[in-house]
Amino acid sequence: MVAVTETLGSNTSTASLQIVGHFNLSLSGTWAATVTIQRSWDNSTWFDVDTFTSNYEGVGHDAEEVYYRATVSDYSSGSVVIRISDNRNFGSKDVFVQ
């Protein structure tokens, strides 16, 4: 499993992560901001996928190999802990909840 975990306390973006298949997204901490999940084919041109203003735990699936990152905007306080992980090696013995 490959993951990007970063604690952000300003208007900035995480490093990108190349994903194919199942992935996890976690937003935690005490923060006031907007977190936008973005997707890119070339790790250069980014498209907004979803937006959050509170803590979140979820999973997703992408059938193609693409890049994901999180971008913080409208920041006013606190720190958001962002974790994006790729379950590239997901197997039948693993538990997957959607």
Each domain of the chain, given as residue ranges in start order, spans 2-86
Distance from C-alpha of 54 to C-alpha of 87, rounded to nearest angstrom: 24
Residue 49, Ramachandran bin (φ over 0: left; ψ between -120 and 50: alpha; else beta): alpha
- Other CB atoms within 10 A of residue 65 CB: 12
Position 91 scores a pLDDT of: 54
Tell me: pLDDT of 17 over 80: yes
pLDDT in tens, 53-89: 999 999 988 989 999 999 999 999 999 999 999 876 6
Position 95 scores a pLDDT of: 47
Strand ranges in the chain using DSSP code E only, listed in sequence order: 2-8, 17-40, 47-52, 56-86
Distance from C-alpha of 32 to C-alpha of 54, rounded to nearest angstrom: 8
The yes/no answer on whether domain 2-86 falls in CATH 2.102.10.10 is: no
**In terms of DSSP bridges, do strands 17-40 and 47-52 run parallel, antiparallel, or are they unpaired?**
antiparallel
pTM, two decimals, is 0.87
